[in-house]
Chain A
Amino acid sequence: MFQIALLVIGVIVVLAVLISLADNLIQIEAKKSGIDTETNNMSVWPNVSEMMKPKAPSSIAGSNFHKLKKGHDIKIAGSPTGEVVHEGQISRFAVRPGNFRGIAPIPKMVVEIGSEVKAGDPLFFDKPNPDILYVAPVSGEVIEINRGQKRAISEVVILADKEQKYKQFDVPSLADSSREDLIGFLKSTGTLGSIIQRPFGTIADPEVTPRDIFISGFNTAPLAADTSLLLSGRGSDLNKGIDVLNKLTSGQVYISFNPTQAEFGSNVHNAEVHYFDGPHPAGNVGIQIHHIKPIKGADVVWTMPIDEVLTLGALFNTGQLKQTKIVSIGGKVANPTYVKTFKGANVGELVAGQLEGDKNRIIAGDILTGEKVTESQYLNAGDDQISVISEGDYYEPFGWLLPIKPRPSVSGTFPNFLFPDHEFEVDTNTHGEKRAFVVTGQYEKMLPMDIYPQHLMKAILTGNIERMEGLGINELLEEDIAVAEFACTSKQPLQAILRDGLDYLKEQV
């Protein structure tokens, strides 16, 4: 019996060697004839990854399609529905210097309290780069310049005019102007400040020519606004924005949509369109970069939020800087809704009449990456949502063993998988205490990238630079590992650890 089995194995091995030899010979022959073996399968073996490739939905057949399985959608109650967009009657807006990573905490002010500004007029600049201006999102009167810790300027508040007045820019012609001219124009209009540079997630450095520029056309974060509202009817602005970006990079502009947004994808010119389908964080641009063309070695890429691309396109189309935002207000609110307003709107005015009961936490941004704010604060430059959830400062008897209230979890120990569509009423309770890293393989399931987050975290905690870079810290920003932080059994602050690592690395490089 054993001898027969041995014989069979022997025969199989000999055959495999023969076939493999033939395979190699074909490859060599193919190279001689100048056939690209990377893209054309010249092998005797069928290409397994080609066979396993997910089928794209018919609406986007033939396009670049990526199906992501890892990650998790946290379903929470109170997502805004429908297409109703209320024009917000917001009176106060602010620009927060702290939103622009990489500039000094005390920028040089151009305006003072009482100054009248138009939308697009400069408010302040960073002393080392005086030509990069940071501009007003709305027209009106500067009413407050608030300072925070160590006299850092925390926000410049503008009381908006009823009728918005826009500064008319002299737009350079795209065909005739050089990259330097365009960069100069972006600096003066404040739009350079909304381009993010990776690695490190700083504002774009005008001295650097990025390898590529990436745009994510959709957002998968919990309670996030549907970008289709923003995109519909703005095709010419989007294409103009992409045209501008194409002038800034030596490489390619990439834009990603989810498969339901084929109508927008098919109208994009001048950029490579990719479709991504999968749970959060599939909509994060960092994840998309990893699957389209990962950041390796000393690569620098730029990313731009989709609404900023539209603003940029509109600026080139009309000469006016209209920094509109569609803010989704969701979670524990009376009426989850979309509000159309401008960048940096006042939180209290946005949620007016929406809050119920006390013990609410208002979050500027989504529940994974957002910032806890009070009603007197303002949205950050990148925020397009407000999430309201309950504070969870209660004791729960045997809560770890027999939880009374349903709660979101990725763990199979909760019966959540029986109710895949249940929308949870979440709160901020940590559901346990912080512990050492014990469980393994958990973060990997929440991050659709070829990265070992737990080992990366350990490399950061031990300050091992070579390992940090090797394990892919340059491909990550906080938002990308936020789902892993949510799922973490040991309640580790992954985003904070990652930011420490990025700051440390930036200092050393």
Chain B
Amino acid sequence: MGLLNFIKKIEPDKKKSPFLHTLYDGFFTFAYSPNSVTSGGVHVRDGMDLKRTMIHVVLAMQLCYLFGTYNIGHQHFIAMGEYPGFLEGFHLKLFHGLIKLLPIFVVSNLVGLGIEFYFAAKKGHAIEEGFLVSGALIPLIMPPDIPMWILALSIVFAVIIGKEAFGGTGMNIWNIALLSRVFVFFAYPTTISGDEVWVSGFEGISAGMSPDYGWAHNLFNHLFEWMDIATFTASSSVVDGYSGATPLALASKGGWSAVTDVYTTTQMWWGTIPGSIGETSKPLIIIGAIILIATGIASWRIMLSMLLGAIAMGWILNGWGATEFMQVPWIYQFYMGSFFFAMAFMATDPVTAASTNIGKWIYGFLIGFIGMIVRVLNPAYPEGWMLAILFLNTFAPLIDHYVLEANMKKRLQSA
């Protein structure tokens, strides 16, 4: 109780310094559940609150974080033809991954939470937990070499225009994490599309290019030398014939055979391929999805219907079969790209998804259906889920509207 009393004593004055008070309140309620009691209405409240809801989403994606961090390093060394085994050069891959990921994580949370705190103080309400999840999702959907200022700018855009302009957590129309990614995608396309951006640590991915190691790598090199283990060697270079292209990029050019020339299905399934940081490993994402469904936090209706929608469209495209990409068997479409990540963590955001159960079926199905169209039929966009989800976010209120109208009609009709 001593600690609690101390913390209570340093509470800043709400009137004199609203920002500090908001900050204090945010951290205090993080450390201690408040002592508020029910008044009016129910006398007992469920143990669940928004903080607990949000933290479970973050927990569900931790495996993606672990794997994503390591895979940044793994892809980096694959490009140079060094340590081809997954666990070879373990410490180098891990630390290279951390050097890339930590700044992204810190910047996205500092910028996002900073804006969140500012608006909370300005409006005089408590800090809402929405950005807890957005801030954890954004690093996972960015390329590992994203410049920090672009990342910061994209988050400023997403949080201010996408969320605070609409009134904060619970009021936004579009998924915040995807909004920040779509901002980068359209404003700075070269940093997030093409073959070169998915492998970290090079200025360009062509034979003979050497990695750029900065002070952080050198610092760890001292440590590794002292421990007498392998170090980062700046003199290595990209091996001949390595392109860094993702399976989807290959498939859109030359169909499934072009993909299997470079990657095995096992590689694609387990995720040891280039891609956005956290979305390559399908089994780990599925574990996350299972956690979300088992705890009842994310809607299984959306996930299932999105899967059905994607299968349906994949099947139609197979039947059409006009291009080599269309001929990729529908089941293999799921080995490529970020379908599962979008399904588990993006489409299920309760604020931006449809809110009625029937609406959720329609919403999920259309995301799967349209996302596959964007992926396969549109040469400008290598992957479809980001655009499909934002598109359906826009239409979710309309879907709900018709579901509610049907319910209202039923009631008023027989009057």
Contact = CB atoms under 8 A, between A and B. Distances in A.
A412 B45 contact: no
A409 interface: yes
A470 B4 contact: no
Interface in A338-382: 361, 363, 367-370, 372
A6 interface: yes
Given A436-B128, A454-B355, A430 B45 contact: yes
Contacts of B128: 435-436
13 contacts: A2-B321, A397-B33, A401-B52, A432-B51, A433-B36, A436-B167, A438-B351, A440-B299, A444-B357, A471-B407, A472-B411, A482-B41, A489-B48
A153 interface: no
Interface string A228-261: 0000000000000000000000000000000000
B52 A432 contact: yes
Contacts of B398: none
A158 to B, nearest CB: 28
A429 interface: yes
Most buried by A among B37, B299, B318: B37
Given A411-B296, A437-B170, A471-B408, A496 B50 contact: no
Interface in B335-358: 350-351, 353, 355-357
B77 to A, nearest CB: 37
Contacts of B38: 428-430
Contact of B37 (A297, A401, A430, A451): A430
A431 B168 contact: no
Q: How many B residues touch the partner, as a band? A: 35 or more
Interface in B234-261: none
Contacts of B380: none
A494 interface: yes
Interface residues of A, number: 76
B55 A400 contact: yes
B217 interface: no
Given A467-B404, A471-B404, A471-B407, 18 more contacts: A367-B44, A398-B33, A399-B32, A400-B55, A401-B52, A412-B294, A414-B47, A431-B33, A431-B46, A431-B48, A432-B49, A436-B128, A438-B50, A439-B350, A440-B299, A441-B355, A441-B357, A472-B411
B49 A397 contact: no
Interface in A1-19: 2, 5-6
Given A397-B31, A450-B407, A486 B44 contact: yes
Nearest to B128: A435
Interface pairs A-B: 5 shortest CB-CB: A297-B415, A432-B49, A399-B33, A470-B408, A436-B170
Nearest to A490: B50
Contacts of B318: 2
A438 B47 contact: no
Interface in B160-199: 167-171
Contact of A361 (B43, B350, B407, B410): B43
B171 A436 contact: yes
Contacts of A450: 407, 410
A411 B414 contact: no
Nearest to B37: A428
A204 interface: no
Contacts of B407: 450-452, 470-472
Interface string A168-212: 000000000000000000000000000000000000000000000
Interface of B: 4, 29, 31-53, 55-56, 126, 128-130, 167-171, 294-297, 299, 318-319, 321, 350-351, 353, 355-357, 360, 400, 404, 407-412, 414-415
Given A395-B4, A401-B52, A485 B33 contact: no
B46 A296 contact: no
B168 to A, nearest CB: 7
Nearest to B299: A441
Contacts of B29: 433
Contacts of A494: 41
A239 to B, nearest CB: 32
Contact of B46 (A76, A396, A487): A487
Interface of A: 2, 5-6, 74, 76, 294, 296-298, 361, 363, 367-370, 372, 387, 389, 391-401, 403, 407-414, 426-433, 435-441, 444, 450-452, 454-455, 467, 469-472, 482, 485-491, 493-496
A472 B412 CA distance: 9
B415 to A, nearest CB: 2
B347 to A, nearest CB: 13
A411 B46 contact: yes
Given A470-B408, A486-B42, A409 B35 contact: no
Contact of B47 (A296, A361, A408, A440): A408
B295 A436 contact: no
A395 B44 contact: no
A84 to B, nearest CB: 26
A217 to B, nearest CB: 25
A493 B44 contact: no
A439 B319 CA distance: 39
Contacts of A76: 44
Contact of B42 (A367, A395, A452, A489): A367
A176 B4 CA distance: 74
A409 B44 contact: no
Contacts of A297: 412, 414-415
Contacts of A387: 43
Given A395-B33, A435-B128, A450-B407, A440 B353 contact: yes
A489 B53 contact: yes
B2 to A, nearest CB: 13
Nearest to B3: A397
A372 B404 contact: no
A490 B415 CA distance: 34
Contacts of B321: 2
A399 B170 CA distance: 23
B46 A486 contact: yes
A401 B55 contact: yes
